[in-house]
Amino acid sequence: MTQEMSRARRLVAEAGRVVVLSGAGISAESGVPTFRGEGGLWRSYRPEELATPEAFARDPRLVWEWYAWRRELVASCIPNAGHLALARFALAGTPTAIVTQNVDGLHTRAAEEAAGTGDPSPALPIEVHGAIHRDKCSGCDARTPALPEVDVSSPQALPRCAECEGMLRPDVVWFGEALESEVVAHAFRVAHEADLCLVVGTSAVVHPAASVPLATLQNGGTLVEVNLERTPLTGQAEVTLLGPAGELLPELLAG
């Protein structure tokens, strides 16, 4: 065991309350492409082209095509050992809040798998950027489970709200859109209350999510980072474990 791993394990063992901030990197080993890595989602497109309200207004068909492709891809992925280690840790006892930037639903599936017939709620994530498998109406904000199929054959064929005829869209937060205020408040509150923040698989460039760990630091807490590379948060981390989350988290969180 490396010196960093034993130091990080000690910080986890001593923690009274833990907050986790996860990003696309925790789902990479499940086969979900990250945003900024090689082969990343943004490779073929730039965020401004797709994950913005302007893009949806300009070309809803293209935006729906991209999300329908991502939904299908995510549906074929399963939680990996990193998601499961986090879920088991959150269910095992230390009060833990999992804040995720991911919209792939894999933390929720890991919580349900780890809980079995038990209560998964202590391991259910706070999804600050929404969820790709839910639709939201652009007109009346109604949330509905994602339609199994999205007909992108023409703008007229795109899904509409059963209540108000408004255009349906994926229930995710786009660039330039405000996050749900009560979700953000909840994320920052649990980060403020935590004495350890575990930052996993995020490039820490998207705000306000990337500022969540700062709330733990401001309150005298400690940062442990798990990533393949250094990030803007590395300088403030007590320990940075460089390597794949699917391998490092089970070792870090094993009792």
CB of 19 to ligand BV8, least distance (A): 16
Per-residue DSSP letters for 100-130? E---S-HHHHHHHHHHTTS--GGG--EETTE
Q: CA nearest 105: which of 92, 93, 87, 119?
A: 87
Is 244 a binder of ligand BV8 (CB under 6 A)? Answer: yes
Is 147 a binder of Zn ion (CB under 5 A)? Answer: no
Contact of residue 140 among Zn ion, ligand BV8, none (CB under 5-8 Å per partner type): Zn ion
Q: Is 198 helix (H, G, I), strand (E, B) or coil?
A: strand
Of 92, 185, 205, 254, the residue at the interface with ligand BV8 (CB under 6 A) is: 205
How far apart (Å, rounded) are the C-alpha atoms in residues 221 and 225? 13
Q: Are 17 and 216 in contact (CB under 8 A)?
A: no
Span interacting with ligand BV8, options 57-65, 108-116, 173-181, 187-195, rule CB under 6 A: 173-181
Give the chain's largest Cα–Cα span.
59
Is 30 a binder of ligand BV8 (CB under 6 A)? Answer: no
CB of 166 to Zn ion, least distance (A): 4
- Residue 160's alpha-carbon distances to 108, 163, 168, 195, 251, in angstroms, are 27, 9, 5, 45, 47
Candidate list 129, 133, 186, 192, residue with the active-site label? 129
Which residues contact ligand BV8 by CB under 6 A?
23-25, 28-29, 34-37, 40, 51, 101-103, 129, 172-178, 201-203, 205-207, 226-229, 231, 244-245
Annotated active-site positions, please?
Answer: 129
